[in-house]
Structure 1
Amino acid sequence: MSTSLDKARRAVVGGTALVVLLVLWEVAVHVLKVRPITLPPPSTVLLELAREWRWYLDHCYYTLITTLGGFALAVLVGVGLAMLLVASRNFTDAVYPMIVALNSVPKVAIAPLFVIWMGTGYEPKIAMAFLISVFAVLVDAVHGLRSVPQDVLDLGRVLKGSPLDFFLKVRLPGALPSILTGMKVAIALSLVGAIVGEFVASQRGLGYVILSAQGTFDTARVFAAVFLLAIMGMLLYGAVVWMERRATPWRVVHD
């Protein structure tokens, strides 16, 4: 009961702070006579969203699909690579330096190559979302798989199960908190990657909305797209936190 009240209190405080910020923003724009092309008031941004909500919804859907596609691929590849890195020292010595080198390359520099290789559809945006987010999953998954207590590992070996049973029932549950932590970082990075991909070559998505609005100096439309991206990022992060609570009920998750 106290937990529910605490969540309600935090929601009220957060909502109140947001309303106060928007009111101050609205008042400041009118009092200081700031030009709308420089900083539109929140009322103009909300009016823009209300007037074209179906159009914005279509672009949100496109960005959401590419974000989730890249995120799912990052989780599958990141956890799979982590398993191989933990299982084989030779594989680690051969592959990990290349992974670190690839992660050090600015991702924006690689985005045009994805367009050349994959075209201008969903694929290059998903690839960019994957590339930006996979390292977060990989690092936390490796840390989690290597951090399982030795007594738990010894107990698993004593029970003499198959290697698959050993992984699914001993290593994976022990590493799950770290993997989910990496996923919380990766979901935000996937959204960033999807937007970067849309900046490079796209006719749909919130990244395209921002880029096209910038070209026509439609600042209200830019703010509307950014506002929707903020909401989408919060909802996606909240979904991963919800999944973390269900997958690791023995832990206290701070969100």
Structure 2
Amino acid sequence: MYSLEHKTYLKNIRKNKFIVGFFKIFIIIFLLGIWEYLGRNNLINTFLTSYPSKIGITIIDLFKNYSLLDHIFVTSYETIISFVLSTIIGLFIATILWWSNTLSKILEPYITILNSLPKVSLGPLLIIWMGANIKSIVLMAILISIFTIILNMYNAFIETDKTKIFLMKSFKANKFQIFTKLVFRSNIPSLANTLKINISLSLIGVIMGELLVSKKGLGYLINYGSDIFNLNLVITSIFILGIISYLFYFIVNRLTKNIS
């Protein structure tokens, strides 16, 4: 049997969840409603801004000619590949930097410089080196997202409780055991938060790559719509991109909750 205080506590939690969920949905509906009203009554330039029902018609038209699913699949596939590779490589580099203090001191300024570079400026070079294909897009996305996971996880690793590390050393634990049993495990929450950032950066990198070289994907649709001055197609693509971005974040957030 629950106590009265515990029942009240659970009731307040459910109430808070309902309020948060309600206002999340309400704000979206409210903003879309205002946008629709302004567009329907020609209070805004619909050629430049479109409006929700017009976007809905464009989405249906894209579904009818079977092209939208292809574009969504290509962008999603490139994002997942980029996310997985940047996470694995970034974690590996962060581990190496933690493992060797000397190496971290040597490489840290170079990583900082590379992180500060505008990655889009490397696009033409990537096209020349890798060709106008998926490799260039994935590499662009990796370059944009990888430094976040390297720097975040390396900083998390070196901030691990020194007392606990000293205690493990006193029990004759080797460096591998210290890393796997303490350093990595204690920083799983940091990894979870970093992954949520990384998935968004991977998607941004993919879109940037698609704007430069792709013949398929949502980035290509945005670029194509801009070229033919079909701003409704551009806004529709951005709208779909926002939904996909949220779905990716939602999935990663759910997975990382279970991990952490």
Relative to the length of structure 1, the TM-score reads 0.91
Cα distance, 1:158 vs. partner?
3.2
Aligned partner of 1:130 in structure 2 is 142
CA deviations on 1:164-221 (whole Å, 9 max, x unpaired) are 3322111101122222222221111111100000011110110000000011121211
User: Where does 1:194-213 land on structure 2 (aligned, <5 Å)?
Assistant: 194-213=206-225
Aligned partner of 1:34 in structure 2 is 44
Out of 204-213 and 93-102, give the one that drifted further: 93-102
Structure 2: state its 5+ residue gaps. 1-9
Aligned partner of 1:239 in structure 2 is 251
Contact 1:26–1:41 (CA<8 Å) still a contact in 2?
A: yes
Amino acid at match of 1:172: F
1-structure distance, mates of 2:188, 2:45: 51
Aligned partner of 1:87 in structure 2 is 99
Contact 1:147–1:175 (CA<8 Å) still a contact in 2?
A: no
Aligned partner of 2:116 in structure 1 is 104
Count of matched residue pairs? 248
Aligned partner of 1:70 in structure 2 is 82
User: Where does 1:1-255 land on structure 2 (aligned, <5 Å)?
Assistant: 2=11, 3=13, 6-53=16-63, 54-248=66-260
CA deviations on 1:127-168 (whole Å, 9 max, x unpaired) are 111100111111110121112112221232233344333221
Cα distance, 1:33 vs. partner?
4.3
Cα distance, 1:12 vs. partner?
2.2
Structure 1: state its 5+ residue gaps. 249-255
Amino acid at match of 2:53: S
Contact 2:127–2:213 (CA<8 Å) still a contact in 1?
A: yes
1-structure distance, mates of 2:75, 2:18: 30
Out of 199-208 and 8-17, give the one that drifted further: 8-17
Contact 1:140–1:181 (CA<8 Å) still a contact in 2?
A: no
2-structure distance, mates of 1:120, 1:32: 42
Contact 2:48–2:232 (CA<8 Å) still a contact in 1?
A: no
Cα distance, 1:4 vs. partner?
5.2
Q: Which has the larger radius of gyration?
A: 2
Amino acid at match of 2:136: P
Relative to the length of structure 2, the TM-score reads 0.89
Please list every run of at least 4 consecutive aligned residues from structure 1 whose deviation after the TM superposition is greater than 6 angstroms.
none
